[in-house]
Chains A and B, each alone.
Chain A
Amino acid sequence: MRLRSLSMLKPLAAAALITAAGPAAAQDAAALRQNALAATCANCHGTQGRAIDGAAVPGLAGMPAGYMVEQLKAFKAGTRPATVMHQLAKGYSDAQIDQIAAYYAAQKK
């Protein structure tokens, strides 16, 4: 099924979203899912990958996708040691890792 764009929203009883979405908005269902998947990293790495001041873990915004995929796969394989990332990385499929990396590569630092 082709994803409907925001301009083809179902009319809602009370209201509807506005057609022109802002810069952070999900433009379609696939982008929304990608945003939500990437948001599972934000609890520790910062909203939209922007780390807090003086963070002890890296910010993910703007990280090159190839590098991030490599690191997550190394955590998953156990070849990069960690306190917790080796346990968390094993929870994601390679396809999910690709989506997460693509999302953060596209975020402004």
Chain B
Amino acid sequence: MMQRRHLLQGAGSLGLLSLAGCASDSLPTSAAGGAVPAKARVLVVGGGYGGATAAKYVRLFSGQKIDVTLIEPNDAFVSCPISNLVLGGSKTLADITTPYASLTKNHGVRVIKDMVASIDPVKKVAVLASGPTIAYDKLILSPGIDLMWDSITGLRAAQGEGRILQAWKAGPETVALRRQLEAMADGGVYAITIPEAPYRCPPGPYERACQVASYFKAAKPRSKVLILDANPDVTSKGPLFKKVWAEQYQGIVEYRSQHKATAVDAKTNSVKFEIQDDVKADVLNVLPTMRAGAIAVQTGLANANARWCNVNYLSFESTAAKDIHVLGDSIQIAPGMPKSGHMANSHAKVAAAAIVAELAGWEVNPAPMLTNTCYSFIDARSVIHVASVHEYVAAEKTFKAVAGSGGVSAGPTELEGGYAWNWARTIWADTLG
């Protein structure tokens, strides 16, 4: 062990290779034997839509010539998109889970199951929770979101007791919330509170309301779904969702805007609001204010409102630290750019290309493009979407939606339901396959 620690801390170009045996048995033998020349090292922190895609595409764009290590604490990737269908009951957690093995097998990415405890942007090293130090030439940070527990009094304790859940990071908590819905008696009330934008997945809470309503309509028809939104109106696909609530879920879904939650009481299962009256519910799903993942905040990268990370949109390099590129939900978004899985996957490709260009000594692409397609299931089969294409506008140093592009569905269809499931399976393969 001493020898391994010594090698890692030496931060030599071959230092990482000693760790490779822990996570990968499919490295080229020449690499394992240490015969290859020194290589550029990219360290990716976080294996979600942003980080896993970036790890894969740095390998693809460089012809497998750049050394890529991915640090991720979970055994497998669990998708947030589609996870609302687990609450609705038409999908299981297994349906939305993808292993990391293909990143190693197909692309030679070293995957290390660990957390990053700290990053030193000056020395260009990251320290893992288990102890080793890893040196990098480029660090890609894609830690997702952090829930700001203190934005709602009493929420951290209520969550800790398992009483008031969020399930805003898909996984065991998604299943726990489904169990609360199953245990609720017919005639009960499920209430979801939504924080002020920006938050992860703008249409997510509204899709979730539809999924719970779909379950109630079939299994507990006297029950109600209450949406308590801190925003002045539905933040995504508003007219489409409102039509579905008024028609398909008439008498089940009620939408109330201008409801900013400030406190919860786990004993009475109630929520307090800044202005409006308290609301009591049988199943409470309270979403607090969100910010960049903790490691980004801790590293001093959350320089927008102390919540999100400003980046140079040409390369997604942090404006606070050289050679650290921040992707996905953690960034300060450009106008019209949602915090979505598809968008994180798009960020990752732009960043991967920029990193390969920089390491090769080429000019970074001055005109990158991003896309976003976001499908929402309004029941087990029918879907509505919002889509957009974003171009870099050099004069304003930001991304903007291309004029005349993008749009939403005319209304829910099962045809789009088929495309939505196809989207999910394809983007999982594009991210991890």
Contacts and interface: CB of A to CB of B under 8 A. Distances in A.
Decide whether A and B assemble into one complex.
yes
Interface of A: 1, 3-4, 6, 8-10, 12-18, 21-26, 28-29, 32-33, 35-37, 39-40, 42-48, 51-52, 55-57, 83-84, 87-88, 90-92, 96
B65 A91 contact: no
A40 B342 contact: no
Contacts of A24: 60-61, 63-64
Those 9 A-B pairs whose CB atoms lie nearest each other, nearest first = A91-B389, A25-B63, A22-B63, A10-B361, A91-B405, A36-B353, A56-B422, A21-B63, A29-B362
A4 B353 contact: no
B373 A17 contact: no
A22 B371 CA distance: 28
B90 interface: no
Interface class of chain A by DSSP: loop
A32 B37 contact: no
A77 to B, nearest CB: 12
A83 B389 contact: no
B62 A21 contact: yes
Given A22-B63, A52-B426, A15 B353 contact: no
B385 A32 contact: no
A88 B52 CA distance: 24
Interface of B: 13, 36-41, 56-57, 60-67, 135, 137, 342, 345-346, 349-350, 352-353, 356-357, 359-363, 365, 368-371, 373, 385, 387-391, 401-402, 404-407, 409, 413, 415-416, 418-419, 421-423, 425-427, 429-430, 433
Contacts, number: 180
Contacts of B404: 90
Given A15-B137, A17-B359, A40-B346, A88 B426 contact: no
A57 B416 CA distance: 11
B415 A25 contact: no
Contacts of B36: 18
Nearest to A8: B361
Contacts of B390: 91
B405 A88 contact: yes
A69 B185 CA distance: 56
A23 B137 CA distance: 24
15 contacts: A3-B362, A10-B360, A18-B39, A21-B62, A32-B357, A32-B360, A35-B353, A36-B353, A43-B371, A47-B430, A87-B388, A87-B406, A88-B373, A88-B405, A91-B391
Contacts of A28: 362
B40 A32 contact: no
Contact of A25 (B62, B342, B369, B401): B62
A56 B13 contact: no
B360 A9 contact: yes
Contacts of B416: 83-84
Nearest to B418: A56
